Amino acid sequence: MEGYVYAVKDEVEPAPEPYLRDDLVRGIVDIQFSANLVVIKTKLGHGHSVAFAIDRLEIPEVLGTLGGEDTLLVVLHEDADRGSFMNRLTGGVPLPRAGGGG
């Protein structure tokens, strides 16, 4: 076989939880809730990495994420507690300029 072969690594190295939360807190600009949907505004270019970090944290309230350039959508379970989600998301660290929480 000649040329290049593209291969996908089966496992992603785990990032320690504090590093994930630090990235989240630095990247998030605003959070708004609507029913079981969470719209998170991020700094430009941080949407995908914040979505990835949320996925890696395996927050029980989260069904899934969809990340864009500076906005991501988080879908929560219908009966999810917003306060519990926020606490697990940030580890209890308040987000600067975050609105709509609770």
In this prediction, residue 64 carries a pLDDT of 95
Domain 17-90 part of CATH 2.60.40.10? no
Pairing of strands 28-34, 62-67: unpaired
In a 13 Å sphere around the CA of 82, the CA atoms on its Cβ side amount to: 13
pLDDT in tens, the chain (102 residues): 578 776 666 665 655 667 777 778 888 999 999 999 999 999 999 999 899 899 988 999 999 999 999 999 999 999 999 999 999 998 887 776 544 444
| Structural domain boundaries in the chain | 17-90
Nearest one of 95, 101, 15 to 58, comparing CA atoms: 15
Q: What one-character DSSP code corresponds to residue 10?
A: S
Q: 40: burial class by Cβ within 10 Å (0-12, 13-18, 19+)?
A: buried
Amino acid at the residue 35: A
**Residue 4 pLDDT:** 75
- Token pair recorded at residue 98: 């975050």
